[in-house]
A and B are shown apart, each in its own frame.
Chain A
Amino acid sequence: MSGDNFGLQTASGHLNVPVESKEPYPADVLAGLHEDAAQVVAKYPQKRSALLPLLHLVQSVDGYVTGRGIDFCAEVLDLTTAEVSGVATFYTQYKRHPNGEYTVGVCTNTLCAIMGGDQIWDEVSEHLGIGHDETTADGKITLERVECNAACDYAPVIMANWEFFDNQTPDSTKQLVDDLRAGKDVAPTRGAAKVCSFKQVSRVLAGFHDGLADEGVGAGPSSLEGLRVAKDRNWTAPGAKHAAPADGDAGTAGLAPGRSSSTDTPSNAADEQAGSKPAEGK
């Protein structure tokens, strides 16, 4: 690591990037990257779609988005380095400076914060002596304040390398970071049997399955609350009724074997207008 300002932005917005971030990859590493990149690109009709996974792939090798990683993505996808950098700086999971072996994210969005996330943050930040997006001197933990991670029924929530740690307390979180720093295996509440390293997880996010899907629970206790109540009170969904297709001759109109082109026709009624209401994702 070079210099105290490493990873910081200058007043004009430029990043301080260390020289080694630009050093070329060793030949064997580069060959492996190209092999992996070819597999990723093959999953998409247009190769630029592979950019997000390829940036995860760069992080799986370098531990952050390096200058050489940006060059690599640009070369593979026929983009300019400016285009790649523009994308890399948009998303919070792409790190602009070397990440710790474990990213520990404390959810401090409203619900988790109020349920205790703020207190967890204060105590663990003090315990480690680092703030948001800072890394412990041993290179083990990068601490982050994270936004809502879709586990609100388990608040307060901590994410360690994007695995769920549910219903946390200040003490449990300090124990978690101590165990991670000590090199102990740590099991998430819902996830793989143990938390993998930042680089390993980045490789999964690039699309390379690590075979750990069958580890861990299907659902935690809160996910099952409604089901438990329904079973206790003997509630079920309405019995399956026989479907009554409008035309009654379903079965004769399917695709003939061997035909694979699209066959549907717009079937909206005349008064159904596209654009009458934008369907937002939110």
Chain B
Amino acid sequence: MATTLTPILTKFWDDPQSWTLETYEKNEGYQALKKALSMAPADLVQMTKDSGLRGRGGAGFPTGMKWGFLPPPDGGPRYLVVNADESEPGTCKDIPLMMAAPQFLIEGCVITSYAIGCNHAFIYLRGEVVHVYRRLLRAVEEAYAAGHLGKNIHGSGFDLDITVHAGAGAYICGEETALLDSLEGRRGQPRLKPPFPAVAGLYARPTVVNNVESIASVPPILLHGADWFSDMGTAKSQGFGIFSLSGHVKRPGQYEAPLGITLRELLDMAGGMRDPNHKLKFWTPGGSSTPLFTDEHLDTPLDFESVAAAGSMLGTRALQIFDDTTCVVRAVDRWTDFYKHESCGKCTPCREGTWWLKQILGRLEHGEGSEEDLDKLLDICDNILGRSFCALGDGATSPITSSIQYFREEYLAHLTNGGCPFDPRESSLFAKEKATA
């Protein structure tokens, strides 16, 4: 096998007290901070650029370049805001990371803040995960007590406070400018860009918004070197990332690996499909907003470029895997429900478009409607994609257009069958228990 797993952020999650500062410090914790405080901030930005780290929240924008966009200091505040609003369907890496090893994120925040000249950082956590919030609050308390946060950190003269902020349930707040509005105490709706957050972000001040896993990756990169990181992965998608396998696989879970690993390799590690009699039908490479893949794509390297070349996006490496017991129309109908529910209402294509998509998909799943509805769906998608205010609308079209591309016959079968040809119980985890009960 070509690719092997690389436990770095997941390395000590099995420690019985993995979340404590003590455990973290036993595992190289806060050694990188010591090193950072002896360096020039600009060198830290350069190191992050050299490492090739690209945003782990889905878009893949180079992290160091994002830091470098901040204008020169003008004496006023500059902010780091961590996007911990993980809620893209299928995505489940940041939440376990913050639950098991929150200090990676805290140390990453201190180093990043030092690099960009920030004295007050924020972690915006979705509100629906109370125990993760407790772990973050505790991690921040421990870091203050140890002098990793607060005034004059380790005698460097650098000050940093971290506020951990809980959201209140809104997928759109994962969009970075909606997140900033929400953090300012407003409805979470995206802002017009430009100006970008680097110029006018939180409180209209220069702001860096980064994903949890991006920031958590900074301490290991600094400790082991930009080359160590960039030697992993592929030429343009460097380093490692957490791949989240879910659905019809034998052992779903978190698999930390270099970018460029394939689903075939990951499936082998995860014990294959849950039932060898049912083959892989479709999967998402990076959450529901990334166009579906099929078994044709088992050997597509999971890096930004290869996935894009194959017509999808690497996204958040949320591999939701469905076998041939699953009705693709049902799956897409439900995702569409989600986008309709979570559309913030700011722009017309997304607000109205997702509503209509849902109406049409709902009737198709129930065997009503007509073949023309498929063209209508594609037409509406065409009016949303690239015409909505933010990526939520674009994402809503991905499962629809890709499923019609690969499974048009299955849509039509709903019409000829007068309803869904699948038994939903077949695809559930407890189908067999039920049958024998």
Asked if B45 and A224 make an inter-chain contact with CB atoms under 8 angstroms apart, the answer reads no
Minimum CB–CB distance from B72 to chain A (whole Å) comes to 6
B-contacting 9-mer, from A134-142, A177-185, A225-233 = A225-233
By beta carbon, the residue of chain A nearest B256 is: A226
Asked if A279 and B176 make an inter-chain contact with CB atoms under 8 angstroms apart, the answer reads yes
Instruction: Decide yes or no whether A130 CB sits under 8 A from chain B.
Output: no
Q: List 24 A-B contacts (CB under 8 A).
A: A91-B167, A146-B128, A147-B338, A148-B91, A148-B338, A149-B87, A150-B91, A152-B90, A152-B91, A207-B164, A209-B137, A209-B138, A219-B96, A235-B5, A235-B6, A238-B6, A240-B224, A253-B43, A264-B42, A264-B45, A266-B68, A274-B198, A281-B57, A281-B58
Interface size class of A (residues with CB under 8 A): 35 or more
Which of A77, A116, A148, A245 contacts B428, CB < 8 Å?
A116
Instruction: Determine the chain B residues whose CB is within 8 A of the CB of A110 once the complex forms.
Output: 89, 288, 320, 331-332, 334-335, 338
Which of B16, B395, B424 contacts A114, CB < 8 Å?
B424
Q: How far is A77 from B211 in the complex, measured between Cα atoms in Å?
A: 29
A267 touching B46 in the complex, CB below 8 Å, given contacts A55-B168, A281-B59: yes
Instruction: Decide yes or no whether A113 CB sits under 8 A from chain B.
Output: yes
B-contacting 9-mer, from A11-19, A28-36, A188-196 = A188-196
A119 touching B203 in the complex, CB below 8 Å, given contacts A225-B251, A230-B5: no
A-contacting 9-mer, from B112-120, B295-303, B374-382 = B112-120
Interface residues of A (CB under 8 A from B): 43-46, 48-53, 55-56, 77, 86-87, 90-94, 105, 108-111, 113-116, 118-119, 146-156, 159, 161-164, 167, 169-170, 188, 190-192, 201, 204-207, 209-210, 212-214, 216, 218-230, 233, 235-238, 240-247, 250-251, 253-268, 272, 274-275, 277-282
Instruction: Determine the chain B residues whose CB is within 8 A of the CB of A236 once the complex forms.
Output: 6-7
Instruction: Decide yes or no whether B276 CB sits under 8 A from chain A.
Output: no
Number of B residues near A (Cβ < 8 Å) is 165
Instruction: Determine the chain A residues whose CB is within 8 A of the CB of B395 once the complex forms.
Output: 282
A275 touching B131 in the complex, CB below 8 Å, given contacts A255-B158, A267-B46: no
Asked if B203 and A150 make an inter-chain contact with CB atoms under 8 angstroms apart, the answer reads no
Asked if B342 and A147 make an inter-chain contact with CB atoms under 8 angstroms apart, the answer reads yes
Instruction: Decide yes or no whether B253 CB sits under 8 A from chain A.
Output: yes
Which of A109, A219, A263 contacts B89, CB < 8 Å?
A109
B410-426 vs A, Cβ < 8 Å mask (1 yes, 0 no): 00000000000000110
A153 touching B66 in the complex, CB below 8 Å, given contacts A49-B183, A111-B246: no
